[in-house]
Amino acid sequence: MKAYERLLKYVVIDTPSDPASEQTPSSECQFDLAKALVEELKSLGVENASVDEKCYVYASIPATEGYENSKRLGFIAHMDTAPDFNGFGVKPQVIENYDGQDVVLGESGRVLKVKDFPELVNMKGRTLITTDGTSLLGSDDKSGVAEIMTMVERILKEDIPHGKICIGFTPDEEIGAGADHFDVEKFGADVAYTLDGGMEGEIEYENFNAAGATFTVNGNNVHPGSAKDIMVNAQLVAMEINGMLPADEIPAKTEGYEGFFHLTDMEGSVEKAKLQYIIRDHDREKFEARKALAEKIAESMNEKYGAGTVELAVKDQYYNMKEMVEPHIHLINYAKEAAKEAGLNPKVVPIRGGTDGARLSFMGLPCPNLGTGGFGFHGPYEHVTAEGMDFCVEMILKIVEKYTVSC
């Protein structure tokens, strides 16, 4: 079975994670895909495939006789889809021999435009898979899941020599909890790769340092007719706080290694207001400076409006995996070589986000990320090509080959 055929099966299984949930998995529907994957793995001959009570799927393929001393190599993808946009009732569109032009997304009124997604020009002649405009697609990260599953099938059916191969599928990556209950020892790999988004041939091992910050503003509400020198409007203080952050250091105005403050949620009344941000920077020193700026703003607001007016809570989420991966730079070198041998142009780029691998690298499992051929994630313009997914499968098979013959 081709990887894209698996993708089409997986995307119609609802798996959005739920950021409001305190359970793991955050949504019970993720078990539907997990259980289906376990059954599929067993049907392929991976008898030890299992899903635990937290919805983590683990499986492994024993080393080919004579290659037991090869590095134990892992591949990981996440099963959940982003809660940012509707992830239920996905109805993918499959466009064979795509003409390289704008694509009408079903009857939604939305159009996938080349001017917004210029990579579409290079997809002319391929089989393009899109949404119908009413939901996201789920290529993030079901493309990664499908590519790993296809790799497993190829290894077993074609009797490809290999060291021990470890397979892991995680829940709740999209809400930052994918590694929370991942059992590195049970997984059993020495090193691993996540397959999680990005163009085929992309290799990522530098991600943001990440934190969440919440400003809670406590106002003082009195009748507006007698409010002079008494009222403190929490909403206005919140606006003032946002205005003290650098206006050009937001996602819409940054790229590459540039960090940002991103206002994700806000709510409020005169009495109380809340601003929630994510803070991101690849450079650890600049990351710490961003958190310090948030602290300074809170302090200055309390000096101006009175102690206790502004409460700030900052929580680190994950760190740049670069420092954990660089001692195992063979992961990157082999990935680049494998990409070339698979017919791709390898491109090492920084992640402007995070993956399970970022946290797993700090848990003792060096784990850079590989692209899966997808674009436009977390929304109705998500798309991927069958051929791009095929390239990704060939690339990870080449990686397996390199670890098999080199160890």
First to last CA, the chain: 30
**In a structure prediction context, what are the per-residue pLDDT tens digits for the chain, which is 407 residues long?**
999 999 999 999 999 999 999 999 999 999 999 999 999 999 999 999 999 999 999 999 999 999 999 999 999 999 999 998 999 999 999 999 999 999 999 999 999 999 999 999 999 999 999 999 999 999 999 999 999 999 999 999 999 999 999 999 999 999 989 999 999 999 999 999 999 979 999 999 999 999 999 999 999 999 999 999 999 999 999 999 999 999 999 999 999 999 999 999 999 999 999 999 999 999 999 999 999 999 999 999 999 999 999 999 999 988 999 999 999 999 999 999 999 999 999 999 998 877 899 999 999 999 999 999 999 999 999 999 999 999 999 999 999 999 997 65
Single out the residue of 109, 173, 172, 121 nearest to residue 380, CA to CA: 109
* Identified catalytic residue from 18, 80, 196, 206: 80
Instruction: Note if the bond before 141 is cis, omega within 30 degrees.
Output: yes
Q: Specify the domain boundaries for CATH 3.30.70.360 within the chain.
A: 209-318
Q: Give the max Cα distance, the chain.
A: 85
Chain segment 56-72, per-residue pLDDT in tens = 999 999 999 999 999 99
CATH tag for 209-318 (out of 3.30.70.360, 3.40.50.720, 3.30.365.10, 3.40.50.1980): 3.30.70.360
Q: Specify the domain boundaries for CATH 3.40.630.10 within the chain.
A: 3-206+320-406
Interatomic CA distance for residues 84 and 90, integer angstroms: 14
Interatomic CA distance for residues 79 and 11, integer angstroms: 10
Known active-site residue 311: no
* Identified catalytic residue from 173, 204, 249, 390: 173
Quote the pTM value. Answer: 0.89
Q: Please name the helix (run of DSSP H) or strand (run of DSSP E) that holds residue 211, with its range, or none.
A: strand 209-218
Torsion angle of the four alpha carbons 119, 121, 123, 126, in this order, in degrees rounded to the nearest 10: 160
Q: In the block, which residue shows the tokens 């399970």?
A: 356
Known active-site residue 288: no
Query: CATH code for 3-206+320-406?
Result: 3.40.630.10
